[in-house]
Amino acid sequence: MQRSNKRFNLKLIGTVSNRQWITKLLCLILLLPALSFAKNDSNTIVILGDSISAAYGVPTESGWVALLETKLKQKSKHYTVVNASISGETTEGGVKRLSEILDRHNPAILIIELGGNDGLRGFPLSHIKTNLQTMIDQAKSNNVMPILVSMRIPPNYGRRYTNGFYDLFEQAADKNDIALVPFLLEDIALKPELMQEDGIHPTALAQPIMLDRIWKTLAPLL
């Protein structure tokens, strides 16, 4: 009888052990997708943008990117901000530069503020869409959290192109389940006192407003 009990106990222990092992394995499998897209341990935020983020026509320290770095310090958020924005940059230019930027800075977060120059030049919407997707994919494959900034353009190319251009950004954000910052110049572009003489670039007075738009989306993700 004792031998029988021992056999029974061994079988029972083996069954429990197997169940525990299977449970752990299932938990690991379920966790893998989250791990593959997890934000890395870096404390760097990179802004990949055009003249709107490059502080065109205003002192660099007055631009929204510089103001972001100041705000992070005020909030005791220990992040380094790298501004990789270039005036006149397009989504294609962003794609070409992104690999080197990611390798050099290894950011935790990538804010993509590109597409405005593409739209102003009437580039094909499919071209812009592909480039945005490429940058998002590249960021995710490096465990970098991408944040997309929405864009608007004047209706020079007609309603169909203009609306399609605007929709691109929301569609890209929805498809990839990433955060979307509203158009930075909303309620700014039509106020002369907040725009430079060219009617395209915001003044120093507009920069804190732009930062507020970025911050509302960025802060919960830090």
**pLDDT tens digits for range 143-158:** 999 999 999 999 999 9
Domain count, the chain: 2
**pLDDT tens digits for range 23-72:** 444 444 444 443 344 556 789 999 999 999 999 999 999 999 999 999 99
Assess whether 117 and 182 both reside in one domain. yes
Assess whether 112 and 171 both reside in one domain. yes
Assess whether 24 and 133 both reside in one domain. no
**Tell me, what CATH number does 48's domain have?**
3.40.50.1110
Assess whether 7 and 101 both reside in one domain. no
Assess whether 9 and 91 both reside in one domain. no
- Which are the catalytic amino acids? 51, 198, 201
Q: First vs last Cα of the chain: how many Å apart?
A: 63
Assess whether 192 and 130 both reside in one domain. yes
* CA 9/CA 13 separation, integer angstroms: 6
Burial code (b: 16+ CB inside 10 Å, e: under 16) for 44-64 equals bbbbbbbbbbbbbbbeeeebb
**Enclosing domain of residue 172:** 39-221
- Global pTM? 0.82
Tokens 């005020």, residue located: 74
